[in-house]
Structure 1
Amino acid sequence: MGVLDGRVAVVTGAGRGIGREHALLFAAEGASVVVNDLGGANDGSGSDAGPAQQVVDEITAAGGRAVASTDNVADWDGAKALIDTAVERFGGLDVLVNNAGILRDAFLAGMDEAQWDAVISVHLKGHFAPLRHAAAYWKARAKAGQPVTASVINTASASGTFMPNAGQANYGAAKAGIAALTLVAAQELERYGVRVNAIAPVARTRLTLATPGMGALFAQEVPEGEFDAFSPANIAPLVAYLGTEKCPFTGRVFAVQGGAIFELEGWRGGRTVETDGPWTVSGIDEKLADWA
């Protein structure tokens, strides 16, 4: 018996890296999985049906149930087709794992419009569009009196939350937006029986290996038999847990790396200054003098 027996899951960006590990573990735990991957390069260019199909073949060879999807999650109709695939092929949808992403790193003064738009589209819209169509499906079921115990797991990042990275204004902004989207969606969808959480993973993937200043760290070899703290396989168990029917959490963002999981608490109110009347520039300067 697996902890995800009978559940139907969609995993985006599941052809390689972290998403691949999600899909494999979900299937091993009994879920039927839609393995979605456009099969593009690190920067989102091109497409290849091979990565998604290879993961499906691996799952079915092990006795699991899976189907490949190459729908573009940043495309409105493509995202709907992805959700429809789960419903049509496996009879429903219980878990949506938004994981697909690309990189087009550049410093702000040299970043062009295409670099910004592409990353925001794949990450932020690529989370919103599948989530929107999944939410509509779950809302309709709940309104019809059918039981819904669904889960969404979004993928934020250390960049954009607790560890901003120079050269990734587009990526960090998208990931911060995903964290905010998670909190809003958790509030909206709870009434329909849907929980929404996010993870901020740190692991070795083709994207992190290509990140300036970080690639060398992730590329370090781990002696055989020792714990590989940067293996993408370390991320999947938390996502599988969040996808289980009885998981109690919603509206949370969890950072996960190696053997550590910690909750991110987001923006909180800090030091405060006050005035009895309208603010003036000089008054603010005086009140904030000790903060510099």
Structure 2
Amino acid sequence: MSLPLEGRSAVVTGAGRGLGRAEALELARLGAAVVVNDFGQPGRDGSGAASATPAEEVAAGIRAAGGRAVAHTGDVADHQQARELVELAVAEFGQLDILVNNAGILRDRMVFSMSEDEWDSVIRVHLKGHFNTTHFAAAHWRARSKAADAPVYGRIVNTSSEAFLAGSAGQPNYAAAKGGIVGLTTSTALALAKYGVTANVICPRARTRMTADVFAGFQEPADDGSEDRLDPLAPEHVAPLVGYLASPAAAHVNGQLLVVHGGMVAVVERPRVAAKFDTKQDAFTYDELDALLTPHYADRPAGETFAAAEVLGLKHE
């Protein structure tokens, strides 16, 4: 019996650790040949000297298990290095079929304290990094489709965050980048559908180097002697969804946003109108808007924002 991704090739960015590593291993387990990309900086804020070790170790592990993998240590936020990443997949495996964008950094600070560099660096790695790899992968698939005069096989899985869905007070740069990734994904899904390519985005929750502080209070399950007991926040809970979205089975899943963690997947609908008001005149006046909107929000606590995570029942207590 053939594996779901047998004969396919994939690029996974930020795959030297955490979520990206788990995703790369899962794609390889499902039969894909994998380009393991990681810039290798030790700091979660993107600081420290770059190292080839994390990417090479994951690639070596895949090969040791009988799979095919190569390492790439370039910076996906650099346009040329992102081009080289896609070209490496084509050179090594003949073509690119799957792109999983996961690379990112954190530079948390409240909006009134955030520096320009703290803003720019996070937007650069997350949002521009997603765009760069998507751009070159999309060009590859479009050229192949035109040459064959038929759709090809292409899958993009991007990484957003619940910080975009519900807000994150100390992460205006990160939340904005993750919101931008959702917009990039839906636009890409529409643009590439005719070429046989799908693009979807996930909001994962997992215990990684990036989230060490966020989930510091979340305890792993008590050791009951069972070797099969998995931390509810383990990245391995997220990886199977990525494998599914990369597979032929997900051919009709396109432009979708899914939240995933700890044995749960939630499909998030696009925003819907909660209330609608029409003016009784040619145009609204201040007094008319006051009469309509103030009562609508009167029962909400001061400062309350749209809390999508609570609405979805995904808020962590």
Report the counterpart of residue 314 of structure 2 in structure 1: none
Q: Does 1:202 align with 2:196?
A: no
Residue 241 of structure 1 deviates from its aligned partner by 0.5
Kindly provide the CA deviation profile for residues 127-176 of structure 1, in whole angstroms up to 9, marking residues without a partner as x.
Answer: 01000010001000111125511100000111111x32210111011111
1:115 alignment counterpart: 118
Cα distance in 2 for residues equivalent to 1:105 and 1:220: 25
Matched-pair identity in %: 46
TM-score when normalising by structure 1: 0.95
For 1:132-143, list aligned pairs within 5 A.
132-143=135-146
Unaligned runs of 5+ residues in structure 1 are none
Q: How big is the shift at 1:181?
A: 1.1
C-alpha change, 1:176 and 1:32, in structure 2 (3 Å) is same
Shift of 1:289: 2.7
Amino acid at match of 1:3: P
State the match for 2:312 in structure 1: none
- Pick one of 261, 277, 281 that aligns with 2:265: 261
1:227 Cα deviation after fit: 3.6
Instruction: State how far apart, in whole Å, the 2-side matches of 1:266 and 1:101 are.
Output: 25
Task: State the distance in 2 between where 1:27 and 1:90 align.
Answer: 13
Structure 1 equivalent of residue 284 of structure 2: 279
What are structure 2's unaligned runs of at least 5 residues? 298-317
| Residue 300 of structure 2: aligned partner | none
Do the aligned residues in 2 keep the contact of 1:13 with 1:19 (CA within 8 Å)?
yes
Counterparts of 2:212 and 2:231 in 1: how far apart (Å)? 15
Q: Establish whether residue 75 from structure 1 lines up as the match of residue 78 from structure 2.
A: yes
The alignment's C-alpha RMSD in Å is 1.3
What is the CA–CA distance in structure 2 between the aligned matches of 1:83 and 1:209, rounded to whole Å? 31
Partner of 2:55: 52
Rounded to whole Å, the distance in 2 between the matches of 1:143 and 1:10 is 22
Which stretch shows the higher mean deviation, 48-57 or 221-230? 221-230
Q: What is the CA deviation profile of residues 63-119 of structure 1, one whole-angstrom value per residue up to 9, with x for unaligned ones?
A: 110000011110110110000000011100000000001100001111101110011
Q: Does 1:249 align with 2:250?
A: no
Q: Is the 8 A contact 1:222 1:228 kept in 2?
A: no
Aligned to 1:170: 173
Equivalent residue number for residue 157 of structure 1: 161
| Contact 1:150 1:245 (C-alpha < 8 Å) held by counterparts | no
Q: How far does residue 267 in structure 1 lie from its aligned partner after superposition?
A: 2.1
Question: How far off its partner does 1:222 sit?
Answer: 4.3
Runs of 4+ in 1 over 6 A off after TM superposition: none
Q: Is the 8 A contact 1:44 1:102 kept in 2?
A: yes
The 1-side partners of 2:270 and 2:69 are apart by 36
- TM-score scaled by structure 2? 0.88
1:127 to 126, 130, 134: 130
* Cα distance per residue 1:225-264 (max 9 Å; x no partner): 3342111011110000100123120010110001100011
What corresponds to 1:88 in structure 2?
91
| Residue in structure 1 matched with residue 17 of structure 2 by the alignment | 16
Q: 2:274 aligns with which of 261, 270, 273?
A: 270
Change (3 A) 1:220 1:227: closer
Amino acid at match of 1:150: G
Question: Is 1:209–1:216's contact at 8 Å kept on the other side of the alignment?
Answer: no
Kindly provide the amino acid, as one letter, of the partner of residue 30 in structure 2.
E
Offset at 1:266?
Answer: 3.3
SS of 1:144's partner is helix
